[in-house]
């Protein structure tokens, strides 16, 4: 491979094209308006002018491209030579660079890891201190509603903050510690008052319930006594009603018997009256018959004949007369 010395001077040919910028600008300006050709036209003058102008444009382009390649050839060869030498150098140095980087990176990565661990440890330390202060500050709120006995145990269990735990925030932790103790003392005192008030209220409630229970017991006994008295009264009333009913039934029975006797007596009296009336009528009829038959002339007494007739009636011998009584 050809080496280039450090102080070798590379001289390039002057960049000069066969056509100037002005010539190209004049050509472009001259053909700013290109005539539109008609393929059917018999007049070929415009076509000839357009064709000549096109050939001139092609000549400009090809001469420029040819000159460009000629002028650039040495530069391209020089660039390739430069790239080849650089590649040779890199092939020599790159492996050693990688080995050196691996050893350097081993130490730097370790130091970087150690720094990250230190930063993480510091972050955790700061976070732990903040959490410890927050926890110390939250103790009264976290145990709100606890009994005074529990709050007292918590109060006694809180220790004085140490620099080992709170580090640079020890003064803040001590201040929070004092504030927490003051809040707990206030909470203990208020809780005791509330507990005493609750005890009195519970005692009063127990007494009220006992009194209510006793009153309810008395009312229950009174209700039971009243119910018993009412039940006895109802039973006595029913008994009296049964007795009255029985007496009324006896009275009704006696009355019915009396009425029956009176009715029988009246019927008997009516029968006797009717019989007497009938007998009187019989006597009248008999006397008329006796007189008509002139029984007296033969010596027959009327009373004897009448008695015989009565006996015949009783015995049914005189069937058209019914004997009653």
250-288 confidence digits (pLDDT tens): 888 888 888 888 888 888 788 777 777 776 776 677 667
Higher pLDDT, 9 or 70: 70
Distance from C-alpha of 27 to C-alpha of 21, rounded to nearest angstrom: 10
Distance from C-alpha of 216 to C-alpha of 199, rounded to nearest angstrom: 25
Distance from C-alpha of 92 to C-alpha of 86, rounded to nearest angstrom: 10
Per-residue pLDDT for 183 more than 50?
Answer: yes
Q: How confident is the model at residue 224 (pLDDT cuts 50, 70, 90)?
A: confident
Q: Cβ distance 184 to 152 under 8 Å?
A: no
Per-residue pLDDT for 4 more than 50?
Answer: no
Q: Cβ distance 129 to 170 under 8 Å?
A: no
Can you give the pLDDT at residue 7?
44
Can you give the pLDDT at residue 322?
46
Q: Cβ distance 89 to 4 under 8 Å?
A: no
Range from 14-23, 80-89, 125-134 carrying the lowest mean pLDDT = 14-23
């Amino acid at each position: 491979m050809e080496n280039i010395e450090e102080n070798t001077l590379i001289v390039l040919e002057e960049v000069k094209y066969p056509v100037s910028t002005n010539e190209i600008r004049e050509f472009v300006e001259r053909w700013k308006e290109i005539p539109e050709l008609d393929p059917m036209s018999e007049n070929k003058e415009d076509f000839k002018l357009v064709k000549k102008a096109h050939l001139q444009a092609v000549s400009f382009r090809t001469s420029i491209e040819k000159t460009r390649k000629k002028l650039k050839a040495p530069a391209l060869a020089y660039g390739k030579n430069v790239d080849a030498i650089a590649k040779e150098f890199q092939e020599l140095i790159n492996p050693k660079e990688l080995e050196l980087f691996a050893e350097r990176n081993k130490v730097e990565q370790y130091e970087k890891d150690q720094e990250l661990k230190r930063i993480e440890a510091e972050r955790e330390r700061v976070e732990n201190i903040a959490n410890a202060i927050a926890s110390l500050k939250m103790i009264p709120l976290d145990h709100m509603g606890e009994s005074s006995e529990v709050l007292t145990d918590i109060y006694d269990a809180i220790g004085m903050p140490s620099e080992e735990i709170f580090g640079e925030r020890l003064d803040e932790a001590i201040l929070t510690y004092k504030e927490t103790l003051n809040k707990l003392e206030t909470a203990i005192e208020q809780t005791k008052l509330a507990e005493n008030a609750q005890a009195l209220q519970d005692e009063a409630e127990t007494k009220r319930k006992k009194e209510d229970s006793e009153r309810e017991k008395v009312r229950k006994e009174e209700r039971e006594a009243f119910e018993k008295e009412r039940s006895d009264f109802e039973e006595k009333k029913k008994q009296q009603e049964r007795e009255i009913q029985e007496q009324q039934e006896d009275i009704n029975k006696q009355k019915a018997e009396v009425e029956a006797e009176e009715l029988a007596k009246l019927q008997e009296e009516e029968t006797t009256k009717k019989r007497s009336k009938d007998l009187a009528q019989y006597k009248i009829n008999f006397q008329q018959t006796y007189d008509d038959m002139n029984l007296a002339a033969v010596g027959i007494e009327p009373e004897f004949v009448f008695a015989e007739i009565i006996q015949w009636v009783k015995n049914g011998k005189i069937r058209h007369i019914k004997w009653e009584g």
